[in-house]
Amino acid sequence: MKTSIVPAQITSLEDTIAGNLTLTQLILLVVPVFVAALLLTVLPPMLKVDSYKLVVLVVLGLPFVILSLRLKGQLLFHTLLALVAFKNRPRLYLATKFSEPCQVCATKLVADEAMLENSTFADRPANDMLPLSLTERSQLDLGLSTRKLTFLSDRNGNIHAVIE
């Protein structure tokens, strides 16, 4: 069997269906036609052209025609989808690579034993929750207060952290 290499330029081109129109452009141009047929049959006077129907059809069809246009080789529809995805991205990140470990979630309960025995958790004032220091957070996260952290290497030179 004979094989040949296909250049990347040939495989990356968009498929054109009719002339220079792609499938996305054809769908964007055909949707207003179906909506127009539906409106002409449903709105009174039925199956007759009227001025208010033409205004509605132009107002509904014009955005689809605009979205099917190309600007710098890219459909405006795809550009609009990219902008919507960018605007809807998450803007609140809970942790970054510069944040301390367990900075947001770790808190320390400061209360005496009598208060713990005599009251419920809901009765405690809000100011008895204080943030932990960095060493306390790392001990809470890894459990280092009672365990031992060692680093072992294997034959391939990989380093493994072992908590004993």
Last residue of a domain, one of 87, 120, 149: 87
- Which has the higher per-residue pLDDT, 78 or 150? 78
Q: What pLDDT, on the 0 to 100 scale, is given for residue 73? A: 87
Quote the pTM value. Answer: 0.50
Confidence of residue 152 (pLDDT cuts 50, 70, 90): confident
Are 156 and 128 in a shared domain?
A: yes
31 has a pLDDT exceeding 60: yes
Residue-range definition of the domain harbouring residue 35: 15-87
d(Cα 45, Cα 125) in Å, to the nearest integer?
A: 72
* DSSP letter string, the chain: ----PPPHHHHTSPPEEETTEEHHHHHHHHHHHHHHHHHHHHSSSTTS--HHHHHHHHHHHHHHHHHT-EETTEEHHHHHHHHHHHHTS----S--TTSPTTTTT-EEE---HHHHHHS-GGGS-GGGEEEPPHHHHHHHHHTTTTS-EEEEE-TTS-EEEEE-
Note whether 126 and 67 are same-domain residues. no
pLDDT tens digits for 68-111? Answer: 999 998 999 999 999 999 999 877 665 556 655 544 444 444 44
Please report whether residue 140 resides in a domain.
yes
User: Considering the domain boundaries, does residue 82 fall inside one?
Assistant: yes
| Residue 144 scores a pLDDT above 70 | no
pLDDT of residue 126: 53
- Judge whether 60 lies within some domain: yes
What is the percentage of the chain residues whose pLDDT exceeds 90? 38
Domain count, the chain: 2
